[in-house]
Amino acid sequence: MYTFELKKADSVANAAALLAASGGKALAGGQSLVAALKLRLAQPGTLVDLSGIAELKGIRREGTHVVIGAMTRHADVAASAEVKVGIPALAALAEGIGDRQVRNMGTLGGSLANNDPAACYPAAVLGLDAVVHTSKRKLAAADFFKGMYETALAEDELITSVSFPVPAKAAYVKFVQPASRFALVGVFVAQTAGGVRVAVTGAGSSVFRAKALEDALAKSFTADAAKAVKVPATGLNSDLHGSAEYRAHLISVLAARAVTAAG
C-alpha cells in the first residue's frame, strides 16, 4: 500500500468536511477498497473511516418503503426481519453477495459508491427504483449510476441511506462467476407501482434496464414471456469468462428464472 492518512469521522457532516478538506476517499467496509489499496490500484492521500458514524447504520420500515443506512453490512440486511418481510428478494440478494466473511464487513453504501459493474446491489436499486439519499441531496436510481465504477457522487458527498419501495413481487437471480463470486450476469425483476422493471448487472459497463424484457413481462409476467425475448449483444461485456452473445442469452434465461422465483 502507498502511505495515507487515516481519519475517523464521528458524523456525516464531519466525514464530508474531512473529505472536502483532504480530497481523500471514504472507507466503508473496505472489502473492495482495502484489496485495491494492497494492489496499489488506489492511492488516496487520506482515508476517512465511516465505521464510527452511528447515523449511517440501521434498517427501518417507513410506510411503503424499507430504508437502509449506508453503513449497514450485507449480513445485517440479509438477516433483517424488516427486509425479509418487506422485500425478501433484497434479503436474498444480500445473502448471496461474496461469502460470509465479506458479508460481515461489506456495506450497502460502499457497494453502491464503488459501482462495480458486476456488483449485486446496483441491480436491486435500479430494479426497485430506489432513492439514494446522500449528504447533499436525493438521487433517483436512474440518475445515480453513471458508468463503470462511476456514480453521480461528488468527491465530498456520502451516501447516507437508500429507500427501497416495497414491490408487489420481486426476485434476483445471478449466474455466478465461479472464481470471484461476482455476477457474470445478474437480473433483478420487480413488479413495482410504476410497472415491471428489469435491471441487469454484470453484462454491461454499469447496471442497466432491459426495456424489451420489461415490455414483454408487462404483457405477461411469465417465465415463457421472458425466455422469448432475444436481447441484443451489442455493447455488452465480452471476456474470457463469457462472450457478449453468451451474456445476452443469459439475461433472458435469468430473467425467466427470476420471474419463476418471484412467484
Q: How far is CA 34 from CA 30, 38, 110, in A?
A: 5, 6, 12
Name the 3-class secondary structure at 176.
strand
Span of 33-41, 85-93, 120-128, 224-232 interacting with another protein by CB under 8 A:
33-41
Q: Which stretch binds another protein (CB under 8 A): 28-36, 212-220, 229-237, 249-257?
A: 28-36
Give CA 47 to chain center in angstroms: 22
Shortest spacing between CB 205 and another protein, in angstroms: 24
Residue 98 or 202 with smaller CB distance to another protein: 98
Phi and psi at 9, nearest 5°, equal -90, 145
Q: Which of 16, 22, 30, 80 binds another protein (CB under 8 A)?
A: 30
Task: Fill in the DSSP letter of residue 167.
Answer: P
140 binds another protein (CB under 8 A): no
> What is each CA distance from 111 to 31, 75, 107, in whole angstroms?
9, 13, 6
The yes or no reply on residue 234 touching another protein (CB under 8 A) is no
Helix, strand, or coil (residue 8): strand
* Residue appearing with cell numbers 457474470: 184
> Which of 84, 169, 181, 241 forms a contact with another protein (CB under 8 A)?
181
Residue type, 86: G
Spatial contact of 121 and 108, defined as CB atoms under 8 Å apart: yes
- Residue 224 found at the interface with another protein (CB under 8 A): no
Asked if 102 touches another protein (CB under 8 A), the answer is yes
99 binds another protein (CB under 8 A): yes
Q: Which of 42, 105, 152, 218 lies at the binding interface for another protein (CB under 8 A)?
A: 105
Spatial CB neighbours of 128, under 8 Å, sequence gap ≥ 6: 87, 90, 141, 164, 165, 167, 170, 188, 190, 192, 197
Least CB distance to another protein at residue 106 (A): 10
- Site membership for another protein, residue 100 (CB under 8 A): yes
Member of 43, 64, 101, 238 binding another protein (CB under 8 A): 101
Among 15, 59, 75, 236, binds another protein (CB under 8 A): 75
Ordered DSSP codes for 183-213:
EEEEEEEEEETTEEEEEEESSSSS-EE-HHH
Choose the binding region for another protein from 98-106, 140-148, 194-202, 254-262 (rule: CB under 8 A). Answer: 98-106
Indicate whether 120 belongs to the interface with another protein (CB under 8 A).
no
Determine the size of the site formed for another protein (CB under 8 A).
Answer: 25
Chain contacts with another protein (rule: CB under 8 A): 1, 3-6, 8, 27, 30-31, 34-35, 37-38, 47, 49, 51, 75, 98-102, 104-105, 181
